[in-house]
A and B are shown apart, each in its own frame.
Chain A
Amino acid sequence: MNQDILLEIKNLYICVELDGDSLPIVEDVSLSLRTGEILALVGESGCGKSVTAQSVMQLLPKQLKIESGEIKMNSHKQGKIIDIANMNPRGSEIRKIRGNEIAMIFQEPMNSFSPLHTIGNQLMEVIRIHRKTSKSEAKEIAVEMLDKVGIPGAARVIDQYPHELSGGMRQRAMIAKALSCNPTLLIADEPTTALDVTIQAQVLTLMQGLQSEFGMAIIFITHDLGVVAQVADQVAIMYLGNIIEQGSAREILKDPKHPYTVNLIEAVPRLGRLEGRKALIPIQGSVPSLYDRPVGCPFVTRCTRVINNRCEETMPRLISMSTDHQVACFLYNPSEGESS
């Protein structure tokens, strides 16, 4: 594994057990993330973006399991490369990593705080589990972290309970908790979706600032392409458990190749196109259920550019459009799959 690569996911398959059947919900996902980079995982609900991120922390719900594949991480704190996919989700190995090297923040901050303990105690708990510090040192670190995320009066807030903070402040406190052990990777699962635009802008600016200060990498899960454009270096677009396009966020937003990505961008209402307010171009139909997953390309049931006899039968592989842009679509790969 290359030195500046922090996380490398290879051919990851995650399956769900339903009525005795084992259905794949993440198929053949490969991703790599460099130190200090922001990667956005984008897709509609049920596309597998959250599950992929949860697997990196071995936090999958009971019914889901990693079927095959590698999740390799270059552990700076342990000074070696570790394979998370093989770890026991309840073992001590993963516990050393969770909250320490990889931290996670969520859409709803109330879920990541206990309502019964003060903000300060909950921050200090994380710090004292992973770092050798005394209680008073931990408290100092906690106050410093709350201060860094822009909570006014941190010394006072530390004795408050989560319900006493507003939504935006709670979000900040959760970020402080996640960053208190100086993780090398932060997984942010829709952290701004429940916030107002004004607060969302503040939290995004804050995250970018902290990212450059601490130099951690971020996996940013979102469905909002505007947020992707504002914060991400890299992007992976997912549909029905597959990555259908990935690479430089800039290049993909400016010059999308996969019909799904193209449609998704067209379906977003934008201010720049207000003149005459044309009807939006929606994507027809809806995402098929896991039971009806098409055999070939997962998008084939809604795609307007289906190539007969190819898309329905074979799953296109990711091919390179440029050094930093890959797409899985037969439109750009005329020869593949023809003979088979």
Chain B
Amino acid sequence: MEPLIKIRDLDVIFPIGKSGFFGKPTAYLQAVSGISLDIHKRETLGLVGESGSGKTTLGRAILHLEKPTRGKVEFHLDDEYVDLEDLNTKGLRKIWRHMQMVFQDPYASLNPRMTVREIIAEPLVVNRIGNKNGILEKVEKVAEMCGLQRDQLGRYPHAFSGGQRQRIAIARALALMPQFIVSDEPVSALDVSIQAQILNLFKDLQNKLGLTYLFIAHDLATVAHVCDRVAVMYLGQIVELTETERIFYSPKHPYTEALMSAIPDIDPDRKMKPVLSSGELPNPANPPSGCRFHTRCRYMEPYCREAQPELNEIMAGHFVACHRAESLTLQGAVE
């Protein structure tokens, strides 16, 4: 089956540090570097990594909310691929009807001076879809799908709790009936008991509407629960990509192993034994040579400092960027 989105050799580079007010940038930060990825129809693809690894930038670059410096994003629409690069603002607006985003903080992403009805209707109004009655009908329909009651629609965001606000944000993203949604840490600002409600809502909507998600998160257990495949990012690159079960139980990249080992298990008898006992993410503006993970890797060999490993398919559907992927036996999360 053709993928819904094809990403090829994507780079996003930010200029940082300037000499003087009108000066040229003195350094560059490569937030996303050479990423190629297919996102399949109706799948949930998880994107994990530490803060600063470029997850959010990749999500934004796929939608062209952030213009990629190099590389291609193609979106499958009406039996052909649209290259987002070729589109002007008007064209992008059109394609954004099919690609939407849900943000982390539902306290910041909703306009406090608009009623819930206005918030959910806004994408329809902006895109001039339907007349007034048609819009109102649609708003009520998506609001109901997202678990909001009709009598709540006249209220303002401040009257809602975090979980309810996230439902409003999801309803807004769904108003245009998109095929693809990037959700950037959609539950990390919510309380545990509410997180489960929102995660189930995501699943439920996917089943009903055939949605495709890119699910960005730093909470690995959440990712494990909702995603079909997971991509692990480190300093702007994908280091491992495969099905959820495989990534958690038989990881092939040392960084994935390190992430798994740091998850605090709710079972007091399973004490965690974190692999990365020291060290932090290196400065993304000045990434290490060779394999970018070599400064923290416990399996490091001298050649890892020299050559950058490529993302190879070591088994069907299992991609790893590590020189030693085939020879290492790594510990996954405990079952």
Q: Whole-angstrom distance from the CB of A200 to the nearest CB of chain B? A: 7
Residue of B nearest to A222 (CB): B264
Q: How far is the CB of B170 from chain A (nearest CB, A)?
A: 15
Binds B, one of A29-37, A67-75, A153-161, A260-268: A260-268
Main SS at interface, chain A: helix
Q: Would B194 and A198 count as touching, CB distance under 8 A?
A: no
Tell me the nearest residue of chain A to B245, going by C-beta: A274
- Give the residues in chain A near B280, CB-CB below 8 Å: 166, 168-169, 198-199
**Residues of chain A with a CB closer than 8 A to B261's CB:** 201
State the CA gap A326–B95 with chains docked (Å): 57
CB distance from B201 to the nearest CB of A (A): 9
* Contact call A274/B268, Cβ cutoff below 8 A: no
Interface string of A172-207 (1 = CB under 8 A from B): 000000000000000000000000111111101100
Q: Nearest chain A CB to B221's CB is how many angstroms away?
A: 4
Query: A279 CA to B225 CA in the complex, in Å?
Result: 8
Could you tell me if B265 and A226 are in contact, using CB atoms closer than 8 angstroms? yes
Whether the Cβ atoms of B267 and A272 lie closer than 8 Å is yes
B224 adjacent to A200 (CB under 8 Å): no
Provide the bound-state CA to CA distance between A253 and B268, in Å. 7
Number of A-B contacts defined by CB within 8 Å: 149
- Per the bound structure, the CA–CA distance linking A286 and B192 in Å amounts to 11
In the complex, the answer to whether B225 meets A280 with C-beta atoms within 8 Å is yes
| B225 x A250 contact (CB < 8 A) | no
A269 partner residues in chain B, CB cutoff 8 A: 195-196, 199, 219, 221-222, 224-226
The reply to whether B193 and A230 contact each other, CB–CB distance below 8 Å, is no
Select A198's contact among B164, B195, B245, B259, beta carbons within 8 Å. B259
Contact of A286 with B262 at beta-carbon distance under 8 Å, contacts A168-B280, A198-B50 already known: no
- Minimum Cβ distance to chain A for residue B285 (Å): 13
Q: Is B289 an interface residue (CB 8 A)?
A: no
Q: Which chain A residue shows the least CB distance to B198?
A: A282
Query: How many chain A residues have a CB neighbour from B under 8 Å?
Result: 47
Answer yes or no: B334 CB below 8 A from chain A CBs: yes
B169 CB to nearest A CB, Å: 16
A167: which B residues are within 8 A, CB to CB? 51
Alpha-carbon separation in the docked complex, A225 to B221 (Å): 12
Does A263 lie within 8 Å of B193, measured CB to CB? yes
Q: Would you call A8 an interface residue if the criterion is a C-beta within 8 Å of the partner chain's C-beta atoms?
A: no
- Residues from chain B with a CB closer than 8 A to the CB of A169 are 280
The A-contacting residues of B in range 236-293, CB under 8 angstroms, are 244-245, 248-249, 258-259, 261-268, 270-272, 274, 276-278, 280-281
Q: Within 8 Å of chain B (Cβ to Cβ): is A132?
A: no
Does B329 sit at the interface, judged by CB under 8 A? no
Chain B residue with the shortest CB-CB distance to A281: B196
Partner of A272, one of B199, B218, B276, B334: B334
Complex contact B264–A286 (CB within 8 A): no
CB distance from A150 to the nearest CB of B (A): 7
- A253 close to B248 (CB less than 8 A): no
Partner pick for A277 among B197, B225, B262, B276, CB 8 A cutoff: B225
Q: What's the minimum C-beta distance from B298 to chain A, rounded to whole angstroms?
A: 13
Measured CB to CB, the closest approach of chain B to A262, in angstroms, equals 12
Contact of A197 among B164, B218, B267 (CB under 8 A): B218
Q: Which residues does A use to contact B, with CB under 8 Å? A: 44-45, 150, 166-169, 196-202, 204-205, 223-230, 249-250, 253-254, 263-265, 267-272, 274, 277, 279-284, 286-287
What are some 26 contacts across the A-B interface (CB < 8 A)?
A44-B194, A196-B50, A196-B281, A197-B220, A197-B259, A197-B262, A197-B263, A198-B262, A198-B274, A199-B280, A200-B262, A230-B271, A250-B268, A267-B196, A268-B266, A270-B221, A271-B220, A271-B224, A271-B265, A271-B333, A271-B335, A274-B224, A274-B335, A280-B200, A282-B200, A286-B193
Given contacts A267-B195, A277-B225, A286-B193, 12 further A-B contacts (CB under 8 A): A199-B50, A201-B262, A201-B274, A202-B277, A224-B192, A225-B266, A249-B268, A253-B267, A254-B267, A264-B193, A269-B219, A280-B200
